[in-house]
Amino acid sequence: GENVEQHPSTLSVQEGDSAVIKCTYSDSASNYFPWYKQELGKRPQLIIDIRSNVGEKKDQRIAVTLNKTAKHFSLHITETQPEDSAVYFCAASMGSGGSNYKLTFGKGTLLTVNP
Amino acid sequence: DAGVTQSPTHLIKTRGQQVTLRCSPISGHKSVSWYQQVLGQGPQFIFQYYEKEERGRGNFPDRFSARQFPNYSSELNVNALLLGDSALYLCASSFSNQGEQFFGPGTRLTVL
């Protein structure tokens, strides 16, 4: 089955700096890659996603890049703010006929933004 | 609009007991997926239901079962509870099999 590796497990940055979280996946058939943010005691929140027919997607301070050949994708957060502090999860999905029901998650990255 | 809701929020059971967790998807969403999140780990896929049919099952024992009702709400049942079943159980809904998945707040299950 699919396996998703996520690095680093913890990341500490100063407010205003950029943060990068990287994930690799094992199954070349995976075609959907969402990122979730989970604050302590709260639900995972979808922050951005990318499909395999796109190499990069940006939404304000957040961007995701996908390299299908190398089977890795990355989350980039610019101008970090203390409220960005949370655990971030990457995930990959391989669905038949375009379905993406089975998300395989990485183990998460605890991001701390120091004021 | 209400998001995904789950009940109960917390549950304490003893080994060997059975538990039923409930999920109501976002209005208009027809797909519900269940995930188990152990502390310090990412969520693990258990089941997906779409249009009231099971469309996917993760690597969980037969003690885990689920169903989806005509109103698209769903229940997850776990029989013969083990200590290792202690986790946060998350429900996620999406409009279709191809849609983004939105998570509920989860049910925290503790097995003593």
CB contact under 8 A, B48 and A100: no
Kindly write down the DSSP assignment for every residue of B4-41, as one continuous string. Answer: -EEE-SEEEE-TT--EEEEEEPPTT--EEEEEEE-TTS
- Tell me the mean pLDDT in the region A86-101: 76
When CB atoms are compared, the residue of B40, B59, B97 closest to A95 is B97
Burial of B112 (0-12, 13-18, 19+ CB in 10 A): exposed
When CB atoms are compared, the residue of A34, A89, A99 closest to B100 is A34
- Give A-chain residues touching B50 at CB under 8 angstroms: 99, 101
Number of A/B CB contacts below 8 angstroms equals: 68
B53 interfaces chain A, CB cutoff of 8 Å? no
Q: How far apart are alpha carbons A54 and A64 in whole angstroms?
A: 10
8 Å CB contact between A106 and A6 = yes
Within 10 angstroms of residue B62's Cβ, the number of other Cβ atoms is 8
Q: What is the pLDDT of residue B1?
A: 54
Query: Is the per-residue pLDDT at A94 higher than 80?
Result: no
CB contact under 8 A, B50 and A42: no
Q: Which residue on chain B is closest to A94 by alpha carbon? A: B98
- Tens-digit pLDDT profile for residues B48-76: 998 888 888 899 999 999 999 999 999 99
CA dist A83 → A53, A111, A113, B42, B47 (Å): 31, 10, 8, 21, 32
Q: What is the pLDDT of residue A100?
A: 53
Q: What percent of chain A has pLDDT over 70?
A: 94
Q: How far apart are alpha carbons A73 and B92 in whole angstroms?
A: 23
Q: What percent of chain B has pLDDT over 90?
A: 82
B9: left (phi over 0), alpha (psi -120 to 50) or beta: alpha
Chain A residues whose C-beta sits inside 8 Å of any chain B C-beta = 1, 4, 6, 34, 36, 42-46, 49, 89, 91, 95, 97-108
Query: Is the per-residue pLDDT at A97 higher than 60?
Result: no
8 Å CB contact between A74 and A20 = yes
CB contact under 8 A, B48 and A101: yes
Q: What is the pLDDT of residue A95?
A: 59
- Tens-digit pLDDT profile for residues A11-65: 999 999 999 999 999 998 888 999 999 999 899 999 999 988 889 999 999 999 9
Burial of B58 (0-12, 13-18, 19+ CB in 10 A): middle
Q: What is the pLDDT of residue A59?
A: 94
Q: Maximum CA pair distance of chain A?
A: 46
Nearest-CA neighbor of A80 among A21, A1, A26? A21
- Give B-chain residues touching A98 at CB under 8 angstroms: 97-98
Confidence of residue A98 (pLDDT cuts 50, 70, 90): very low
- Give B-chain residues touching A4 at CB under 8 angstroms: 42
Q: Nearest 5°: CA angle at B58, between B64 and B9? A: 55
